[in-house]
Chain A
Amino acid sequence: MSVSRRTLLKTSAIAMGHWLAPLPAFATREDANAAIIATFGDRPLQEGRVSVQIPAISENGYSVPMTVEVDSPMTEADHVVRISIFAEENPIPNVAHFELRPETGIARVQTRIRLAASQRVRAVAEMSDGSLWTSYTFSIVTLAACVL
């Protein structure tokens, strides 16, 4: 099959265009920290009470099962008010916010998330007394949702 010069130039221009298209900039740990401050204000974070469960190896970054759980009695006097999830190296570090009530009973939420790279996924839980608790889990992503 012969390819005319014009066709070749046209197709390579399209190919180049795709290659040169701006890829989403990845966030950094600092961006994630800024997102946490934007959500909760600049308040002290304590390590513990909250856990993020994601697979140590995520085969498909487009859909990673995630469970977040907070150690709380979930009573009127002492319960989780809010949980926020941050993926430190996604184009946007925010993943989700969850609002809970005392009648939630069990402070555990599951969903499926996208991970653009191997990274730390952090959860921050706000308690009814205003304290903030955090922890993170690292996941290696084999097929990254690189244009997620």
Chain B
Amino acid sequence: MNTIRLAVPDKATRGEIIEIKAMIQHEMESGHRPDEYGRPIPRFIIKHFECRYNDRVVFRAEFFPAIAANPFLSFFTRATESGTLEFRWIDQDGGVATELVELEVD
């Protein structure tokens, strides 16, 4: 399992715009590198990222090989109600990693 690191506030006031930072451990093998014998190392990257807030998509990203290893993202969203933030990374072969975070809004 790839290590996931999230920075999300536990609490927010209603209407507050919060910053979310999300990182996943992944080599993001570009497919452009040769191995020690000059053979190309096959590409293996995370292709999609999605953040859902109470099941509503609030942010999406699509990655190409030019995203650095251990892809990091910082983005914003407005805290509207208490609930769950779901983070989902999908690699090029459809492999999925997810993590949930509870957000309390008052």
Contacts and interface: CB of A to CB of B under 8 A. Distances in A.
Our verdict on whether A and B bind, yes or no, reads yes
A62 to B, nearest CB: 6
Contacts of B58: 101, 103-104
Dominant secondary structure at the A interface: mixed
Size range of the chain B interface in the assembly: 20 to 34
Interface string B40-82: 1000000000000100011111111111110111111110100
A74 B72 CA distance: 23
B66 A92 contact: yes
B38 interface: yes
Interface string A108-128: 111111110000000000000
Interface string A61-104: 01110000000000000000000000100111011111111011
A20 B34 CA distance: 11
A114 B28 CA distance: 11
Contact of A17 (B38, B60, B64, B80): B38
Contacts of A106: 17, 76
Question: Which of B40, B75, B80: most chain A Cβ within 10 A?
Answer: B75
Contact of B78 (A14, A87, A105): A105
A21 B72 CA distance: 31
Contacts of B53: 103
B33 interface: yes
B75 A104 contact: yes
Contact of B62 (A21, A96, A104): A96
A148 interface: yes
Question: Which of B39, B67, B68: most chain A Cβ within 10 A?
Answer: B68
Given A17-B37, A91-B32, A103 B68 contact: no
17 contacts: A62-B69, A64-B68, A92-B64, A92-B65, A94-B66, A95-B64, A96-B61, A96-B63, A98-B60, A99-B57, A101-B58, A110-B72, A110-B75, A111-B68, A111-B71, A112-B68, A114-B30
Given A14-B38, A109-B75, 11 more contacts: A19-B38, A63-B69, A90-B66, A94-B64, A99-B59, A103-B58, A108-B74, A109-B61, A112-B67, A115-B66, A147-B32
Query: A-B pairs with the 6 shortest C-beta distances?
Result: A105-B17, A21-B38, A110-B74, A99-B60, A112-B68, A18-B38
